[in-house]
Amino acid sequence: MPKMDEMKRLCTQVRRDIVRMVHAVNSGHPGGSLGCVEFFVALYGDILRHEPSKFNMDGKNEDLFFLSNGHISPVYYSVLAHNGYFPVSELNTFRKLNTRLQGHPTTHEGLPGIRIASGSLGQGMSVAIGAALSKKLNKETNIVYSLHGDGELQEGQIWEAAMYAAAKKVDNYIATVDYNGRQIDGDVDKVLPLGNLKAKFEAFGWTVLENPHGNDLEQVIASFKLAQTHLGKGKPIVILMKTEMGMGVDYMMGTHKWHGSAPNDEQLKKALEQLPVTLGDY
Amino acid sequence: MKKYTYTEKKDTRSGFGAGLLELGKQNNQVVALCADLTGSLKMDAFEKEFPDRFFQVGIAEANMMGIAAGLTIGGKIPFTGTFANFSTGRVYDQIRQSIAYSDKNVKICASHAGLTLGEDGATHQILEDIGLMKMLPNMVVINPCDFNQTKAATIAIAKHHGPVYLRFGRPSVPNFTAPDQTFEIGKAVMLNEGKDVSIIATGHLVWKALEAAEQLAEKGINAEVINIHTIKPLDEEAILKSVSKTKCVVTAEEHQMNGGLGDSVAQLLARKLPSPQEFVAVNDSFGESGTPDELMKKYGLDTVNIVAAVEKVIKRK
């Protein structure tokens, strides 16, 4: 299937973009970005009903996406650019003075594709719920999606939002948790274990789906499509998506150490050797 | 001295409730959210009239601010309602990131501000909210003085695109401004022209400023009284015009001295027209339980304190 091949090639290019972006400014968050490449490529390439060339804040009659764990901005920016929201060459400005590609995503500089600032964790689920309620009031049939880190679920506001979404039957909304098991200080299980996450969301009244293969593009698309069959049934939906932090760069995998550090020149070279150019570098 | 009268005392929160109901009829994009204080905020009439546009979020203010930010995407104009304490300090980061920095058209409506909340005590008597909110870039801060003005302000802020903090309170105070007034954001209201001192007041202190001016007139002091309902953006022109005439100023507010209206006025004067200033405000202290009147007396926010401040500042000219 040519489209799938094309999306897989994009995944590799996005990974190159990510490591090059964080290397260029010696800062940023490559680990979680690399782990969520398939999620973003699938979402923007095959799932969202959206019009990148006509981006506007209200996004009426479009599906909307909110990134709650804003620190994985490199993957977000790369995929937005490759989907036509802004020129791919602009990735070169990431985290530099006067850029629209701020360290964490923001609406402030008017970057197409972004509808809310995120970075301070735990806020995106509430925002996504608000946008989903707005769609219901406007009698739109479009869907709202969001992504959250697993460490982010330690924020209390997430659970306020989770309680609300189920109680008020926000059923035009699909959240995903990047269940990579790692956060800045170490493994989530060591920092503050989440316990039985599936049971927690179920107890809050959500439909819970599990995708143990969040770095398999076909599986990510399949889990979105499965989630869509649960829409409109009176419950919010969450996909617990297992990913590998640092996926695609061997020395960044199996550790939390690349959550928020950039590779040096030598490390970049080593990373890029594992990620052949597919669509051309920015 | 221009004479002000009133036929009844009313609470400013009821002005908000009345304004919100009217707005609901005027504009179907207006929605309201409340965190389990619908009765206290006088939002029940809106809830009854427009149940589909009213969102009861429970005791979860952080979530309420986020949902409000999200509702703007798609064109809604959300009005959030809870006590001033829970509308600001409790949710500062949510307002900062999801509303102010994200330039979302959310109206944060805050009741029970200041000492006049009364018996509930200091946990609920926020005296820092004006400061917290005016420090946020992009935030408009409004503190009307009576029922009619609060109603007018509530209706007016729906027409302003961007985040607004609207502060009002619980006690019944003289309702003396015109019911048909036009509320202009950022425009000071001249209540009494005078030449000896400028009394610049906001919120519940506006009526006390008028009382003080009457007492001062009896002492032969001719006080100018200005109602600053919008603390940000501040009507710099009106303040400079007044102080350049009177050469001294007293600011009066139900708020901490740090971060309040007095601070904003002092900053303006320091930059453009250095002048003696006295502050009627709470001096770096928490409140406590008591009746509103007892508290205003104890913490130095009464008519007598404005009179004393005027006498003091005039000597400093």
ipTM score = 0.97
* Residue from B63, B72, B86, B101 whose CB has the most chain A CBs within 10 Å, to mutate: B63
Q: Name the closest residue on chain B to residue A68, using Cα atoms.
A: B98
**Per-residue confidence band for A193, with pLDDT thresholds at 50, 70 and 90:** very high
Tokens of B301: 């926010």
The structural domains of chain A, ordered by start, are: 2-273 (3.40.50.970)
Query: Is A134 within 8 Å of B71 when comparing Cβ atoms?
Result: yes
Q: Would residue B212 count as lying in a domain? A: yes
Query: Is A117 within 8 Å of B97 when comparing Cβ atoms?
Result: yes
Tell whether the torsion through CA atoms of B230, B234, B238 and B243 is positive or negative: positive
What would you report as the CA-atom Rg of chain A, rounded to the nearest whole angstrom?
18
Number of Cβ within 10 Å of residue A273's Cβ equals: 9
Question: In this complex, which of B66, B73, B93 lies closest to A115 when CB atoms are compared?
Answer: B73
Phi-psi category of residue B279: left, alpha or beta, with phi > 0 → left and psi -120 to 50 → alpha? beta
Tokens of A5: 């091949």
Domain end position, chosen among B135, B150, B174: B174
Query: Is A126 within 8 Å of B102 when comparing Cβ atoms?
Result: no
Q: Would residue B181 count as lying in a domain? A: no
Counting one residue from chain A and one from chain B, the pairs whose CB atoms sit within 8 A come to 118
Q: What pLDDT, on the 0 to 100 scale, is given for residue B41?
A: 98
Q: Looking at the structure, tell me whether residues B166 and B258 fall in a common domain.
A: no
- CATH number for the domain harbouring residue B221: 3.40.50.920
Element (H, E) at B245: helix B236-246
* Residue from A134, A143, A159, A173 whose CB has the most chain B CBs within 10 Å, to mutate: A134
Q: Looking at the structure, tell me whether residues B41 and B152 fall in a common domain.
A: yes
Q: Name the closest residue on chain B to residue A60, using Cα atoms.
A: B74
Q: Which of A197, A112, A93, A116 is nearest to A154 (CA)?
A: A197
Q: Which of B22, B47, B61, B288 is catalytic?
A: B61
Q: Is B62 on the interface with A (CB under 8 A)?
A: yes
Q: Would residue B54 count as lying in a domain? A: yes
Question: In this complex, which of B52, B58, B70 lies closest to A130 when CB atoms are compared?
Answer: B70
Tokens of A104: 């964490």
Tokens of B97: 């990131």
Tokens of A7: 């999306």
Cα–Cα distance for residue pair A238/A270, rounded to 1 Å:
36
Cα–Cα distance for residue pair B110/B120, rounded to 1 Å:
16
Q: What pLDDT, on the 0 to 100 scale, is given for residue B206?
A: 98
The angle, 0 to 180 degrees and rounded to 10, between the axes of the packed helices A124-137 and B61-71 is 50
Number of Cβ within 10 Å of residue B240's Cβ equals: 15
Q: What is the DSSP string of B197-227?
A: EEEEE-TTHHHHHHHHHHHHHHTT--EEEEE
**Which residues in chain B land under pLDDT 70?**
none
Average pLDDT over residues A26-54: 98
Cα–Cα distance for residue pair A193/B98, rounded to 1 Å:
27
Average pLDDT over residues A251-279: 96
Domain end position, chosen among B174, B204, B231: B174
Say whether A116 sits in a helix, a strand or coil. Answer: coil
Average pLDDT over residues A51-64: 98
> Are B245 and B196 spatial neighbours (Cβ–Cβ below 8 Å)?
no
Residue A1 pLDDT greater than 70, yes or no: no
Domain end position, chosen among B174, B205, B222: B174
Query: Is B62 within 8 Å of A160 when comparing Cβ atoms?
Result: yes
Cα–Cα distance for residue pair B278/B249, rounded to 1 Å:
7
Q: What pLDDT, on the 0 to 100 scale, is given for residue B284?
A: 98
Q: Looking at the structure, tell me whether residues B21 and B140 fall in a common domain.
A: yes
Q: Looking at the structure, tell me whether residues B42 and B102 fall in a common domain.
A: yes
Measured between alpha carbons, how far is residue B130 from residues B87, B96, B98, B133, B186 in Å? 11, 14, 19, 5, 15
Specify the amino acid at residue B281.
A
Query: Is A127 within 8 Å of B70 when comparing Cβ atoms?
Result: yes
Query: Is B66 within 8 Å of A135 when comparing Cβ atoms?
Result: no
Work out the percent of chain A whose per-residue pLDDT is above 70.
99
The angle, 0 to 180 degrees and rounded to 10, between the axes of the packed helices B261-272 and B236-246 is 70
Q: Looking at the structure, tell me whether residues B18 and B142 fall in a common domain.
A: yes
Q: What pLDDT, on the 0 to 100 scale, is given for residue B39?
A: 97
Q: Looking at the structure, tell me whether residues B93 and B229 fall in a common domain.
A: no
Residue in the block written with tokens 């302000």: B153
Contacts of B82 (CB under 8 A, 6+ apart): B34, B35, B36, B37, B41, B61, B64, B110, B111
Q: What is the DSSP letter of B182?
A: P
Read off φ and ψ for residue A108, nearest 5 degrees: -60, -35
Contacts of A59 (CB under 8 A, 6+ apart): A50, A115, A131, B73, B74
Work out the percent of chain A whose per-residue pLDDT is above 90.
99
* Domain span including residue B30: 10-174
Q: Looking at the structure, tell me whether residues B49 and B121 fall in a common domain.
A: yes
Q: Looking at the structure, tell me whether residues B71 and B152 fall in a common domain.
A: yes
Counted domains in chain B: 2
Number of Cβ within 10 Å of residue A75's Cβ equals: 27
What would you report as the CA-atom Rg of chain B, rounded to the nearest whole angstrom?
19
Q: Is B60 on the interface with A (CB under 8 A)?
A: yes
Q: Looking at the structure, tell me whether residues B33 and B163 fall in a common domain.
A: yes
What confidence tens digit (pLDDT) does each residue in A82-110 have?
A: 999 999 999 999 999 999 999 999 999 99
Q: Would residue B106 count as lying in a domain? A: yes
Q: Would residue B180 count as lying in a domain? A: no
Q: Would residue B149 count as lying in a domain? A: yes
What confidence tens digit (pLDDT) does each residue in A132-152 have?
A: 999 999 999 999 999 999 999
Tokens of A215: 């770095």
Element (H, E) at B172: strand B172-174
Q: Looking at the structure, tell me whether residues B162 and B200 fall in a common domain.
A: no
Q: Which of B141, B19, B29 is nearest to B84 (CA)?
A: B141
Which stretches of chain A sit within 8 Å of chain B by CB?
57-60, 64, 66, 106-108, 115-120, 122-135, 137-138, 140, 156-157, 160-161, 163-164, 167-168
Average pLDDT of the residues of chain A: 97
Active site residue B218: no
Q: Looking at the structure, tell me whether residues B252 and B130 fall in a common domain.
A: no
Q: Looking at the structure, tell me whether residues B131 and B217 fall in a common domain.
A: no
Read off φ and ψ for residue A158, nearest 5 degrees: -55, -40
Q: What pLDDT, on the 0 to 100 scale, is given for residue B6?
A: 96
Query: Is B73 within 8 Å of A58 when comparing Cβ atoms?
Result: yes
Cα–Cα distance for residue pair A162/A55, rounded to 1 Å:
29
Work out the percent of chain B whose per-residue pLDDT is above 90.
100
Tokens of A227: 């989630």
User: Starting from the edge strand earliest in sequence, which strands make up the sheet with A237-242, in order?
Assistant: A64-67, A144-149, A173-179, A237-242, A207-211
Chain A residues with beta carbon closer than 8 angstroms to that of B70: 66, 116, 126-134
Phi-psi category of residue A55: left, alpha or beta, with phi > 0 → left and psi -120 to 50 → alpha? beta
- CATH number for the domain harbouring residue B29: 3.40.50.970
Q: Would residue B179 count as lying in a domain? A: no
Chain A residues with beta carbon closer than 8 angstroms to that of B58: 163-164, 167
Query: Is A126 within 8 Å of B69 when comparing Cβ atoms?
Result: yes
Cα–Cα distance for residue pair B306/B199, rounded to 1 Å:
8
Tell whether the torsion through CA atoms of A14, A16, A20 and A22 is positive or negative: positive
